[in-house]
Amino acid sequence: MRKEMNDIVLVDDNPAIRYGLSEIFKRRGYTVRTASDGFSALALLRERIPGILLSDLDMPGMSGFELLSVVRHRFPAIAVIAMSGAYSGVFVPPDVAADAFYAKGSNGAARLFEILWSIEDRDLRESMRAAVPIWISSLSAHECDGLAVSCPECVRVFFPAVAQVKGSTHSTSCPHCFYPLQLAIVTEPNQMDTTSL
């Protein structure tokens, strides 16, 4: 096993599943970091990029659907395994940005290790990847007024409370993942710049 494939981030909102799987992986020599939702997982990815991300799909806050689409676009080298008790079978559910799928509750740990070993080949993973949509949470009607910003970390849209004074800069953070941001309100030119060299 390549060294980077020995590093796993495990994401699940169920603490018993996080603990149980984490212990199983550690006994097999894996380095495991755990998160309870997508936002916490993104914070772990900022600290150190793992070789493998294993994520539940149905979680509060940032779901696994959203997390996996963000990871696919921002960290394409990470091998991604989606897991869920809501889906069955061995194939990745449609439109889920994952390299493999693990059906919780219907497969044993042996199946999970088979999946881990099968996705170690990066060239094979990349050839299997298809375009998947970017999952986003829906916005309520009252949120759609004002200045909209898309967080570069979690890709969620938010509406910062900043004075929209052109040429001003503002320090803020994403209310979803708390990623720090510097916003600059730019001026739109009314006409073409005719300054010569």
Distances (CA, A) of 148 to 55, 103, 159: 29, 37, 5
- pLDDT: which is higher, 156 or 10: 10
d(CA 138, CA 82): 22
Give pLDDT tens digits for 61-98.
Answer: 888 988 998 898 888 889 999 999 888 878 888 778 89
Q: Go through the domains of the chain in sequence order and give each one's CATH number.
A: 3-128 (3.40.50.2300), 141-184 (no CATH)
Mean pLDDT of 108-120: 84
Which helix H or strand E contains 83, and what residues bound it? Answer: strand 79-84
Distance between CA atoms of residues 31 and 180, nearest Å = 28
Average pLDDT of the residues of the chain: 79
Query: Is the pTM higher than 0.85?
Result: no
